[in-house]
């Protein structure tokens, strides 16, 4: 049985294809398939992580406060700018 071949034909008019081709050209010979497989797995893992973060950020706080803890102020419960920047970076990858 013959296995299927993967063929990448970059579109010369697509910036995305040109960037992908440039990355593939930097891979050593014989490692391109591993690089492509790694890139696909990483992208899908990031999408899963992003979905989990979205679900967590949408849900109200499910865990009750500990009895000895004072309630946090609304200013302390806002999302830090670094986290928003990280999430924006993930969104730009799509």
| pLDDT tens by residue, 3-36 | 877 788 899 999 999 999 999 999 998 898 899 9
Whole-number pLDDT of residue 7 = 82
Whole-number pLDDT of residue 42 = 94
Buried b (16+ CB within 10 A) or exposed e, 17-44: eeeeeeeeeeeeeeeeeeebeeeeeeee
Report helix angle 32-58 to 81-92, nearest 10: 130
Q: Supply 1's token pair.
A: 């049985």
Q: Write the burial class of residue 10 (CB in 10 Å: 0-12 exposed, 13-18 middle, 19+ buried).
A: middle
pTM above 0.75, yes or no: no
Whole-number pLDDT of residue 68 = 46
| pLDDT tens by residue, 76-94 | 467 777 777 777 777 776 5
């Amino acid at each position: 049985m013959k296995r299927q071949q993967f063929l990448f034909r970059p579109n010369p008019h697509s910036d995305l294809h040109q960037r992908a081709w440039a990355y593939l050209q930097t891979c050593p010979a014989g490692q391109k398939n591993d690089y492509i497989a790694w890139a696909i797995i990483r992208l899908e893992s990031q999408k899963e992580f992003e979905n989990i973060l979205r679900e967590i950020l949408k849900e109200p706080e499910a865990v009750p406060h500990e009895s000895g803890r004072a309630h946090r102020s609304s200013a302390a419960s806002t999302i830090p700018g670094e986290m928003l920047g990280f999430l924006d970076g993930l969104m730009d990858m799509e």
